[in-house]
Structure 1
């Protein structure tokens, strides 16, 4: 009888999951709350405090540059966080430590006042810590399950995903109001309070977590084998292929895993331009919203920083529509819905979204004040493109890489987000420095990115036809 009860107990949702979910809601609220106001705050406070119209374009470019470099660092650090957790300290210690530092970063922002140096320091601390958490928290969810309750894992990840979008939806609604009515000190301070709450919630669950100990440095890891392959490219025997030379030192299984990573990276090579466009909704689009008619009705208007709540809201609403209705409908009509086709469609849809933004900017440049409803339409299309590209890429990375490389692929995917933001940051920095890209201001700026996207899409079509299909499912046998 006791064995039955124990087995029944094991089949329940792990008691640690609510602590992880609660902590994630608060952390995402703090992160997106910060992002909702940082660009408009920096543009005025640091780069154009006198509100000189002649300095508007340069101030916007400087604020955008800082915003995208912040995201670049935040999405580069997951790789570092994963290494620290998996090889040296374990996920619990890494999450708790960086959460404390994360809270201190928010405190620095709240007390920075008009000090650009102090504000920048706070952003660097937050970016490093947010990235350190990102790679560990989602993996920590999976660590809480075993064979007896693994059927509940998808439900737990569903809650986890909802917690991310709940924080991302609520923060842009409330934090801009605090900035308007109570000032930036309070507006930046409240996300810090939420991050402190996230840390406390996570700590309270310390006795309930399943803690996977660090495994130490793995000899046959992605970087070691890749560097060795690069070395053998120039020092292999005459007529010998690179991977044949690598097989003299590393196992066939490890080499197959590395080759799988490079096949997936051929797809991921097109994600940086997607994220270069996507992440502008939290920077360039917010600044554009300050020049729109923000009246939703004749008696109700919103703040420019509040508009980006539309993206996570429609992301949650559209996912079941796509999965339960659109994709099955297309399959029934004989249109095969493959991952590569989803990604291609997502690139097209984000192009349509950006076209709306470019046309809006043309109207603004001509002295008009178009309705914010057009930008809302762009946000809805943006959410649809994210489902087709982001969600699909994560699925593609999982199904097309062996078990030993799945964590590596997730981290490399996040590096694509970092690379996309770095591109935008560098272009904005070049605009500030009066370089080549300084000619691309106003609507020309958005048309520039649409041209880059169009070139990338054509290249994607050429590459996608040549990508071999090799799926790793079930017991890790490869399906061709």
Structure 2
């Protein structure tokens, strides 16, 4: 029997693609490997000989800076991976090659625990490998669905995010123990072994995957349409969009001139952000000039991408807060009291502040099914539709609330009282709820909103939001090294740590308001492929 396109779109009997378990299994092992090394990185650097050349008072700050620079790289390289997959090799081959680079990076960490150059080379290779595959595995999951079974995609995206946190939970809980008991060679070697297993599992499913081929050079691609729009002249009109884009280019060059003061990573990210922001604004101002020279569908696709990028940009403050749980919150926890005298505290297992990070993935695994089975249906019965954009905006606000509580804990500590590490459970819970609303939702949102030819690159731009989130952290850290800024902080009566925690909370609240205002007029799309 032949099923029509409309019937296929609502066929509740359509089975789950049988190749999905290979991708999910790969993701579980890869996430264990990534979070296994990531969540002990600050702890290792702050206490190892790697930073022995610095005064002891500066080592924690440098460990935090290295960590956020690494995270910037992880979320920058998706641009490269998405471009190579979309234009040349396809997702499967690109994932395989970057996975091998990833494995080599882990090997460097295990072998060069006392060699700064070798260790940092390993961090670079992991950033390249992990970042390169990051947008592709998610969009590769989406490629396995079509209009006939797309109703199953949401549950699979949620399962995908759940398994990420399954791997992260055990990595966060166990790796600090291995670091403390067996040393960095073992603690960094185990994640490397898991990355090899992840690569092998992904390879096993090679004959069952739906492989969407890379797109050939397209005269109507995003960049070609944008270039036409910026350069096209209209009778009797100037080119204000081109002027705006040119201003962005000049500002980007100015940012690069600050490299001696701020460093290459900060300045390069600033330059990239200025080019994207001003180039996008300029293109939007003159986009209709590309009509006639390019098909209307291509021009409309560019406008859709520009709208998506605004959504992504408004989530960057969330990532500023979220990624600091592995740096700022760990360093705060190191100065708190381990509640071994509490009857309910698992002293036999949790002996290190870094292990508190295991709360995040553990709570995610509970919150995702709770939201889907209890919270969202209850809200629907009350007449409130928890759309993806509403969920994401609320998640940003919850991250701000989490940092308010973290700041209150810091004030308590600054007052000289011993504070139990158990109190960190509250901000972790609030931040995790915000993460589920933002990040898990965004996986589905980014894939569904992206035009077919741009799915890999759009996912790369989503991960680039984390790069800019960590950029705000580095800029803030650079700012507090300025005497004028530190004097202002001192005048508030707050410690530097407490002031920064409340500062980032306010940053999130402002972003949540801006996100809500923009979301009200965002036109949702449906860009799943046809069967």
Q: Which residue of 2 aligns with 1:4?
A: none
CA distance in 1, matches of 2:109, 2:45: 12
TM-score by length of 2: 0.78
CA distance in 2, matches of 1:300, 1:51: 35
CA distance in 2, matches of 1:340, 1:140: 23
Are the structure 2 counterparts of residues 131 and 437 from structure 1 closer, same or farther at C-alpha, using a change threshold of 3 Å? farther
Q: Which residue of 2 aligns with 1:238?
A: 236
CA distance in 2, matches of 1:127, 1:392: 24
Mean CA deviation greater in 156-165 or 67-76: 156-165
Q: Which residue of 2 aligns with 1:6?
A: none
Instruction: After TM superposition, give the deviation of residue 74 of structure 1 in Å.
Output: 0.8
Contact 2:392-2:441 at 8 Å conserved across structures: yes
2:526 to 470, 473, 479: 473
Instruction: After TM superposition, give the deviation of residue 59 of structure 1 in Å.
Output: 2.0
Q: Which residue of 2 aligns with 1:25?
A: 28
Is residue 2:498 matched to residue 1:443?
A: yes
Q: Secondary structure of the equivalent of 1:472?
A: coil
Instruction: After TM superposition, give the deviation of residue 378 of structure 1 in Å.
Output: 0.7
Q: Cα deviation per residue 1:152-184 (whole Å; 9 max; x = unaligned)? A: 555544443332111111101111110011011
Mean CA deviation greater in 187-196 or 219-228: 219-228
Instruction: After TM superposition, give the deviation of residue 271 of structure 1 in Å.
Output: 0.5
Are the structure 2 counterparts of residues 136 and 461 from structure 1 closer, same or farther at C-alpha, using a change threshold of 3 Å? closer
Mean CA deviation greater in 436-445 or 264-273: 436-445
Are the structure 2 counterparts of residues 462 and 205 from structure 1 closer, same or farther at C-alpha, using a change threshold of 3 Å? closer
Contact 1:77-1:128 at 8 Å conserved across structures: yes
Instruction: After TM superposition, give the deviation of residue 419 of structure 1 in Å.
Output: 0.8
Map 1:138-153 onto structure 2 (within 5 A). Answer: 138-145=138-145, 153=153
CA distance in 1, matches of 2:184, 2:191: 11
CA distance in 2, matches of 1:399, 1:147: 12
Contact 1:66-1:425 at 8 Å conserved across structures: no
Q: Which residue of 1 aligns with 2:511?
A: 456
TM-score by length of 1: 0.86
Q: Cα deviation per residue 1:240-267 (whole Å; 9 max; x = unaligned)? A: 8723311132111111111122223333
Is residue 2:324 matched to residue 1:280?
A: yes
Contact 1:90-1:213 at 8 Å conserved across structures: yes
Q: Cα deviation per residue 1:322-361 (whole Å; 9 max; x = unaligned)? A: 2332233334334453444333322221111001111112
CA distance in 1, matches of 2:64, 2:423: 22
CA distance in 2, matches of 1:39, 1:436: 28
2:377 to 328, 333, 340: 328
Q: Secondary structure of the equivalent of 1:343?
A: helix
Is residue 2:381 matched to residue 1:381?
A: no
The Cα RMSD (Å) is 3.0
CA distance in 1, matches of 2:445, 2:156: 21
Q: Secondary structure of the equivalent of 2:77?
A: helix
Q: What residue ranges of structure 1 are gaps of 5+ in the alignment?
A: 1-9
Q: Secondary structure of the equivalent of 2:525?
A: strand
Q: What residue ranges of structure 2 are gaps of 5+ in the alignment?
A: 1-12, 239-284, 490-495
Is residue 2:461 matched to residue 1:412?
A: yes
CA distance in 2, matches of 1:475, 1:455: 33
Instruction: After TM superposition, give the deviation of residue 226 of structure 1 in Å.
Output: 2.5
Are the structure 2 counterparts of residues 437 and 110 from structure 1 closer, same or farther at C-alpha, using a change threshold of 3 Å? farther
Mean CA deviation greater in 398-407 or 377-386: 398-407
Q: Which residue of 2 aligns with 1:427?
A: 476
> How many residue pairs get matched?
460
Q: Which residue of 1 aligns with 2:132?
A: 132
Instruction: After TM superposition, give the deviation of residue 314 of structure 1 in Å.
Output: 1.1
Q: Cα deviation per residue 1:280-307 (whole Å; 9 max; x = unaligned)? A: 1111111111111222634633211111
Q: Which residue of 1 aligns with 2:263?
A: none
Are the structure 2 counterparts of residues 112 and 436 from structure 1 closer, same or farther at C-alpha, using a change threshold of 3 Å? farther
CA distance in 2, matches of 1:400, 1:387: 19
Contact 1:62-1:428 at 8 Å conserved across structures: no
Mean CA deviation greater in 97-106 or 369-378: 369-378
Map 1:314-353 onto structure 2 (within 5 A). Answer: 314-353=363-402
CA distance in 2, matches of 1:96, 1:343: 32
Contact 1:274-1:453 at 8 Å conserved across structures: yes
CA distance in 2, matches of 1:435, 1:418: 27
Q: Cα deviation per residue 1:40-82 (whole Å; 9 max; x = unaligned)? A: 1112225764997xx43x3222111111111111111112101
Q: Which residue of 2 aligns with 1:64?
A: 64
CA distance in 1, matches of 2:186, 2:70: 21
Contact 2:157-2:440 at 8 Å conserved across structures: no
Are the structure 2 counterparts of residues 274 and 330 from structure 1 closer, same or farther at C-alpha, using a change threshold of 3 Å? same
CA distance in 2, matches of 1:325, 1:131: 34
Q: Cα deviation per residue 1:212-251 (whole Å; 9 max; x = unaligned)? A: 332233332223323333334xx43324872331113211
Q: Secondary structure of the equivalent of 1:442?
A: helix
Are the structure 2 counterparts of residues 312 and 217 from structure 1 closer, same or farther at C-alpha, using a change threshold of 3 Å? farther
Are the structure 2 counterparts of residues 45 and 280 from structure 1 closer, same or farther at C-alpha, using a change threshold of 3 Å? same
